[in-house]
Amino acid sequence: MTGFFKGATLVLLLILLQTSVLPLYLSTPYKPDLLLILMVFLALRAPVSTSFPAAYALGLLKDCVSGLYLGLNAFSFLIVYLVLKAVSDRLYVQNSLLLVFTVSLSTLATMLINAVLLSIFSEAGGIVSSLLTAMVPHLLMNAFVASLVAVFPEFSRVRTVK
Amino acid sequence: MFDFFRKYSLPIIVFVGLLVALITYSLNLSRSHQANMLERGVNGTLAPMQQQATRSGGFFGRIWHDYIALVNLKQENSRLTGEIKQLNSALAAAGEALRENERLARLLDLRKTIKEPTVAAMVIGEDVTPWFRSLTLDRGSESGIREGMPVLAADGVVGQTVKVTANSSRVLLLTDHASGIAAMIQRSRARGVVKGRRDNLCSLEFAMRGEDVQVGDQVVSSGIGGVFAKGLPIGEVTMVKKGEYGIFQTVTIRPTVSTAHLEEVLVVLRAPRD
């Protein structure tokens, strides 16, 4: 229960940081996706029982504060999570470079899935051009923030199976 | 004779001394403003020494003033530094209040021009992704806001409300790809739909190729669609492109409202048409 509250507090802080604090200092293309980075971290490090619902919940949460389409990011987060979870057992997850690499790939993957879903199901024509324009700065920003995650002591802690 | 002087030497010396003093005094009465030889000699000799003594006195005075009398200088310095910080903060707050006052005054001016009831709201959040363009406001259904209501700033149209909760609502900005506002060119009355584009720009869709649209034309809401009242400023035409084929022309618009720096907006409580 304590872990749940800690996680919820962390997510709340990330949401507030991303919606209300960072926009004051960063221009629009350079917004990092803190929820995606958290999802990737959970996919690599947390057990399925926690990380699976968390990945979907983080996606839904992102949909609540972004765009018009509830379920868009929830779906793309889940797809990316499942792929990462399938390979995470074979990866050295304590490596900070690996986190940067997986976050970068996940950013690209979610943008691609979002672009496909939006093009097929929404009336937001031309959004692909916006996605392409924002892709490089968004990717670089996410990679940068992911590299900062490795600074936290929790990152290098090795989890043991109980 | 010698014995006489010897016997009365003291009274004689005293008498002579007094006489000399009296004569000296009486002789100098008429030249009291001029220095005589004795005075010049004494004063001339003393002057350099007095000068040094005075300097020494200044040195000791400086020691007193600069060191001994300033033992509380550090505390005073800290206190004054603190006061400067407080005054700077107060100055910054006053400047911020002044600018906020100017913005609110402009918003109030806009409010006076709108016939429908309005609600002023503050921007409390931005969209988390760079490709969707929306803002979060601190007012919701408790303030009478519903989905589809027009949102304005002092410079013109901002967007319309979507996803309203009890105490917050989101605004779909006119620069979002999903946004569409019926509009017209103010000069030529050419009509179209303003849709969001990338880079915080918009485009006027469905403007017929033969319509008169020029760079620099003002784009205003046409009132068609029932969301926005007629004549609200939307933007300015920055590019017009007519291809060889096709029935429409490509018109790029720069919005009058800079959505990146919005802090307060006005929501018009106009019930949207179903």
Looking at residue A82, its pLDDT comes to 92
Whole-number Cα distances in Å, B194 to B106, B116, B159, B227: 25, 23, 11, 13
Q: Is residue A147 domain-resident? A: yes
CA distance B161 to B150: 7
Q: Which of B176, B204, B173 is nearest to B190 (CA)?
A: B204
Query: Which residue in chain B is spatially nearest to A115 when comparing CA positions?
Result: B131
Q: Is residue A162 domain-resident? A: no
Looking at residue B273, its pLDDT comes to 63
Other Cβ atoms less than 10 A from the Cβ of A49: the count is: 8
Q: What is the mean pLDDT of residues A141-145?
A: 92
* Band of pLDDT at residue A162, cut at 50, 70 and 90: very low
Phi-psi region of B178 (alpha: psi -120 to 50; beta: other; left: phi over 0): alpha
B200 to chain A: which residues are within 8 Å by CB?
28
Q: Do A20 and B126 touch (CB under 8 A)?
A: yes
Question: What distance in Å separates residue B199's CA from the closest CA in chain A?
Answer: 8
pLDDT digits (tens, 9 = 90+) for B71-125: 777 888 889 999 999 999 899 999 888 888 888 888 888 888 888 899 999 999 8
Q: Which domain holds residue A106?
A: 2-156
Burial readout B167-178 (b: 16 or more C-beta within 10 A, e: otherwise): ebbbbbbbbbbb
pTM flag (> 0.90):
no
pLDDT digits (tens, 9 = 90+) for B64-82: 667 666 777 788 888 999 9
Average pLDDT, chain B: 85
pLDDT digits (tens, 9 = 90+) for B157-209: 999 998 898 889 999 999 998 889 999 999 999 999 999 987 788 999 888 88
Find the CB nearest A134 among B124, B130, B177. Answer: B130
Q: Is residue A91 domain-resident? A: yes
Q: Which of B99, B60, B127 is nearest to B264 (CA)?
A: B99
Q: What is the mean pLDDT of residues B6-30?
A: 81
Residue B20: both structure tokens together: 């000399």
- Select the more confidently predicted residue: B233 or B42: B233
What is the value of ipTM here, to two decimals?
Answer: 0.81
Q: Which CATH superfamily is domain B119-268 in?
A: Rod shape-determining protein MreC, domain 1 (2.40.10.340)
Q: Do B178 and A126 touch (CB under 8 A)?
A: no
Q: Is residue A161 domain-resident? A: no
Q: Which residues of chain A approach chain B closer than 8 Å at the C-beta? A: 18-20, 23, 27-31, 33, 35, 62, 65-68, 122-127, 129-131, 133-134, 137-138
Count of domains for chain A: 1
Helix runs in B178-236, H state only: none
Other Cβ atoms less than 10 A from the Cβ of B47: the count is: 10
Average pLDDT, chain A: 85
Question: What distance in Å separates residue A20's CA from the closest CA in chain B?
Answer: 5
Q: In B91-168, at which residue ranges do the beta strands (DSSP E only) sit? A: 118-126, 134-137, 150-153, 156-164
